[in-house]
Amino acid sequence: MQFVDEVKVYVKAGDGGRGCVSFRREKYVPRGGPNGGDGGKGGHIIFKTTRDINTLLDIRYQQQYRAEKGQHGMGKDMHGRNGKDLVIPVPLGTLIKDAETGEVLSDLTIDGQEFIAVKGGRGGMGNTHFKTATRQAPKFAQPGEAGEEKNLKLELKLLADVGLIGLPNAGKSTLISAVSSARPKVADYPFTTLVPILGVVKYRGFKSFVIADIPGLIEGAHKGAGLGFQFLRHVERTSILLHLVDISETTEGDPVDNFKKINKELKLYSPQLLEKPQAVAGTKLDIKGDGKRLDRLALYCKDKGYDFFPICAVTGEGIKKLMAYLGKKVEEMKK
């Protein structure tokens, strides 16, 4: 399935039905009074979260939504039928903004949560309501009110407990496939992961947390290099960031420098991201070579106060300890 995490839509609520101008026409009842019914109200447009979808793909291909209009009032004091509400399902973590002002209108993070984006117009009153002692045959009624309309921008921010970040080929996809049932593409070239991937990690036999594999960042991502940082919005909700750094003898660049490059890109995107708890995993331990790169990164993390874990997702070395640590951290953050 194609992953879509940002769309713009036009929404128009239903107009209210107009009131009816009508008079009684019955045998043996001369000069019958007004009996025009009210118009029905227009339908609302409602966004509702569901766990059954995890992308905004369907909304991308239908970018205009109109709710049903209210039915007009009728004679014999018959009210028009109300327009049906239009309910649009969206994934958890959907942020709804006004496309013109950028104002955040709603942040939908709970399953089944609803947000009325635009309200239907009120139905007009029939001429029955305007009868008075001095005006016994009103020949007018109210028109229905127009339904609200807006241009909206929908952004999806995945709900995950742990966000995996790092340079391309740092081993993020291999790790998430080793610890969960997620099966992202794994290959020996950069940018094999083109969209965020979610996986559920079980630890201690019964507890679990959600981990997100964020597509690889590179230096200059804030200027659009590589995939840019269009997917970093998905780590804004995480409890902890796990920074994966390749310490193998085959990788280019110094591991500490690589670590600093990614944190620089995080800061350029949002300084608040660096305030999140961050742990570091030195990956590809099975091909560490003489171990100098591993030692240099471990020493740097110790000096800066980062919790450090050397791991190998292929052999499983260090994985159990890392997952127990992350699970404990997530529990602490949720208290």
Q: What is the pLDDT of residues 103-151, one digit of tens each?
A: 999 999 898 999 999 999 999 999 999 999 889 889 999 999 999 999 9
- Give the whole-angstrom CA distance, residue 203 versus residue 94: 28
Q: Which DSSP letter does residue 258 get?
A: H
Contact 6, 155 (CB under 8 A): yes
What does the block give as tokens for 114?
Answer: 């609803």
Burial classification of residue 276, based on how many CB atoms lie within 10 Å of its CB (0-12 exposed, 13-18 middle, 19 or more buried): middle
Which tokens hold the place of 313?
A: 């997702």
Report the C-alpha dihedral over residues 273, 101, 115, 59, rounded to 10 degrees: -80
What residue type is 266 in one-letter code? L
Cβ atoms of 284 and 248 within 8 Å: the answer is yes
Residues of the chain with pLDDT under 50: 1, 185-193, 221-222, 225-228
CA distance 242 to 329: 11
Instruction: Name the pTM for this structure.
Output: 0.70
Token pair of 93 as six digits: 């973590």
Question: How far is Cα 16 from Cα 251, in angstroms, rounded to an integer?
Answer: 65
Structural domains in the chain, sorted by start? 6-156 (2.70.210.12), 162-334 (3.40.50.300)
Q: List all residues 6 or more positions away from 43 whose beta carbon is below 8 Å from its beta carbon.
A: 13, 14, 67, 68, 69, 70, 82, 83, 84, 85, 86, 120, 147
Which stretch of DSSP H or E encloses residue 108? Answer: strand 104-108
In whole angstroms, give the CA distance from residue 46 to residue 68.
Answer: 13
Tokens (6 digits) for 29: 């009842």
- For 48, the 3-state DSSP assignment is strand
Quote the pLDDT of residue 282: 93
Asked whether the beta carbons of 241 and 235 are under 8 A apart, the reply is yes
Inter-CA distances, 246 with 180, 203, 282, 287, 331, Å: 21, 25, 6, 10, 28
Give the pairing type, strands 64-66 and 6-12.
Answer: parallel
Residue by residue, DSSP assigns 3-24 as: ---EEEEEEEPPPPPPP---B-
Rg (CA), the chain: 29
